[in-house]
C-alpha cells in the first residue's frame, strides 16, 4: 500500500505504456533521483498509463526501512502519485528463483568463482567484440578438473548466464539505436541473492511494465536485460534513458556534493518541495523562472520529444 499522504489512482492500468520508478532504499533520494522519478511519472501519466513504485531492496546490508519510508514521503511531497500495490523486490524471491531455474534447465547457467580483481585483470588484457570491462567467460571454459578444484575451495560461486556473445539492439526513445554484444552477466550472486539484471527483468515482466524510464547511466545495461527477457519469453518494454543531474565537478550528483536532498535544500536554501519541483521543471524546459507548478500542470505540458538531451548541473 502507499505511504500516508501519497495519493493513488487505484489499481495499475493496462496501457502498453505503464511505467515505474524503482529506487533502492539504501539512502535518501537526491534531486537527480527525484527528477528521474518525475520524468518516469510524466511519461506514464501523459500517456494515460499506470505508474508503479517498486522498492529494489535486494541488498540486505544496505536496505533500510527508514530509507524506504523517506523515499516514499519525498515522492508524495512532490505530488507524485502511484498505483497500488507497492512492491518490494525482496518479497519476490520465488519468482526470481523460478526464472533462474528455467535458464538453468535450458543449459544457459554456469558457476563462476572469479573475484573482481581477476575479472578486471582479464578484461584489461582482452580484445574483441565485448564492451570494455566485460566478463570474458573464464569460468565457462574451465575443464572438469579445474571446476572440481574450485568447488573444493569452499568459496561459493556466482551463477552466470552463458550469453553466447549475442549482439542485442534496441531503439531508445531519446538515444536512438543502441547495439551491444552481451557478456556473461551474473544472474545470482555468491551471497545467494538474485542479481539486478535478473530480478529487474523478472519483476518488470511480471508487473507488465510497458515503458522503462531511467537515467542514461543505465543505458549500457539494457542489452543485457533484453537478452534475459528474450530467453525467458518475456515481452520487451520500450525504453527512454533520460539525462542525469550532475554535481559541479561534472560527476553524477551524490551526497558529497552538499545539499542535494529535499531535506537538505529546505535546511540550506529554505526550499519547500514545491520549490524543488519548480527547479526540476525549469531544468526540463517545462517552467519559466519564478513560476510555480504542479505535477498536473507539468503533465499537460509534457512532450517526450522536447526533453533536453544534455545533463543538468546542480550546485548543492
Domains 19-85+243-313 and 106-198 equal at CATH topology level:
no
Residues contributing to the annotated binding site for Zn(2+):
112, 114, 135, 139
Do 54 and 20 contact (CB within 8 A), yes or no? yes
Per-residue pLDDT at 308 exceeds 90: yes
Phi, psi of 235 (to 5 degrees): -70, 140
The pLDDT value recorded for residue 130 is 73
Average pLDDT score over residue span 110-129: 81
Q: Return the minimum-mean-pLDDT range out of 51-65, 129-143, 246-260.
A: 129-143
pLDDT 10s digits, 149-169: 999 988 999 999 999 999 999
Q: Return the minimum-mean-pLDDT range out of 4-18, 242-256, 269-283.
A: 4-18
Do 99 and 56 contact (CB within 8 A), yes or no? no
Rounded Cα distance, 70 and 292, in Å: 24
Architecture (CATH level 2) of domain 19-85+243-313:
3-Layer(aba) Sandwich (3.40)
pLDDT 10s digits, 2-54: 444 454 555 444 456 899 999 999 999 999 999 999 999 999 999 999 999 99
Rounded Cα distance, 286 and 303, in Å: 9
Q: In which band, very low, low, confident or very high, does the pLDDT at 226 lie, cut at 50, 70 and 90?
A: very high
Average pLDDT score over residue span 283-304: 97
Q: Record the pTM.
A: 0.92
Rounded Cα distance, 84 and 217, in Å: 28
Q: Report domain extents, the chain.
A: 19-85+243-313, 106-198
Residues contributing to the annotated binding site:
20-24, 56, 112, 114, 135, 139, 196, 214, 255
Residues contributing to the annotated binding site for ATP:
255
Do 220 and 47 contact (CB within 8 A), yes or no? no
Q: In which band, very low, low, confident or very high, does the pLDDT at 1 lie, cut at 50, 70 and 90?
A: very low
Do 28 and 71 contact (CB within 8 A), yes or no? yes
Nearest-CA neighbor of 205 among 243, 234, 179, 231?
234
Strand partners, 313: 246
Per-residue pLDDT at 128 exceeds 80: no
Per-residue pLDDT at 228 exceeds 90: yes
Residues contributing to the annotated binding site for L-glutamate:
20-24, 56, 196, 214
Rounded Cα distance, 126 and 214, in Å: 31
Q: In which band, very low, low, confident or very high, does the pLDDT at 127 lie, cut at 50, 70 and 90?
A: low
The pLDDT value recorded for residue 4 is 40
User: Cell numbers of 68, please?
Assistant: 524506504
pLDDT 10s digits, 27-38: 999 999 999 999
Nearest-CA neighbor of 265 among 81, 79, 78?
78
Could you confirm whether domain 106-198 is CATH 3.90.800.10?
yes
Rounded Cα distance, 78 and 35, in Å: 10
The pLDDT value recorded for residue 235 is 93
Do 203 and 89 contact (CB within 8 A), yes or no? yes
Per-residue pLDDT at 260 exceeds 70: yes
Do 53 and 169 contact (CB within 8 A), yes or no? no
Amino acid at each position: 500500500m502507499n505511504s500516508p499522504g501519497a495519493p493513488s489512482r487505484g489499481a495499475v492500468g493496462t496501457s502498453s505504456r505503464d511505467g515505474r520508478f524503482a529506487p533502492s532504499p539504501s539512502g535518501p533520494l537526491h534531486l537527480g533521483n527525484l527528477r528521474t522519478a518525475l520524468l518516469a511519472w510524466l511519461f506514464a501519466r501523459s500517456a494515460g498509463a499506470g505508474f508503479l513504485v517498486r522498492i529494489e531492496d535486494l541488498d540486505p546490508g544496505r536496505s533500510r526501512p527508514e530509507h524506504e519510508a523517506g523515499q516514499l514521503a519525498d515522492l508524495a511531497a512532490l505530488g507524485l502519485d502511484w498505483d497500488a500495490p507497492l512492491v518490494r523486490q525482496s518479497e519476490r524471491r520465488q519468482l526470481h528463483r523460478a526464472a533462474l531455474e528455467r535458464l538453468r534447465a535450458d543449459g544457459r547457467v554456469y558457476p563462476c568463482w572469479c573475484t573482481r580483481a581477476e575479472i578486471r585483470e582479464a578484461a584489461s588484457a582482452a580484445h574483441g567484440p565485448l564492451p570494455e570491462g566485460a566478463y570474458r567467460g573464464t569460468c565457462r571454459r574451465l575443464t572438469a578438473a579445474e571446476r572440481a578444484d574450485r568447488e573444493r575451495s569452499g568459496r561459493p560461486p556466482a551463477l552466470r548466464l552463458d550469453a553466447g556473445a549475442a549482439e542485442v539492439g534496441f531503439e531508445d526513445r531519446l538515444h536512438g539505436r543502441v547495439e551491444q554484444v552481451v557478456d556473461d552477466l551474473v544472474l545470482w550472486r555468491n551471497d545467494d541473492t538474485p542479481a539486478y539484471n535478473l530480478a529487474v527483468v523478472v519483476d518488470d515482466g511480471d508487473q507488465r511494465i510497458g515503458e522503462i524510464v531511467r537515467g542514461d547511466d543505465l543505458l549500457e545495461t539494457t542489452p543485457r536485460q533484453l537478452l534475459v527477457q528474450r530467453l525467458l519469453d518475456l515481452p520487451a518494454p520500450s525504453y527512454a534513458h533520460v539525462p542525469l543531474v550532475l554535481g559541479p565537478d561534472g560527476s553524477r550528483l551524490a551526497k558529497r556534493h552538499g545539499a542535494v536532498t529535499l531535506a537538505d535544500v529546505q535546511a540550506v536554501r529554505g526550499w519547500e518541495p514545491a520549490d524543488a519541483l519548480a527547479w526540476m521543471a525549469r531544468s526540463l524546459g517545462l517552467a519559466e523562472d519564478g513560476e510555480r507548478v504542479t505535477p498536473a500542470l507539468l503533465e499537460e505540458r509534457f512532450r517526450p520529444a522536447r526533453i533536453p538531451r544534455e545533463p543538468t548541473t546542480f550546485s548543492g
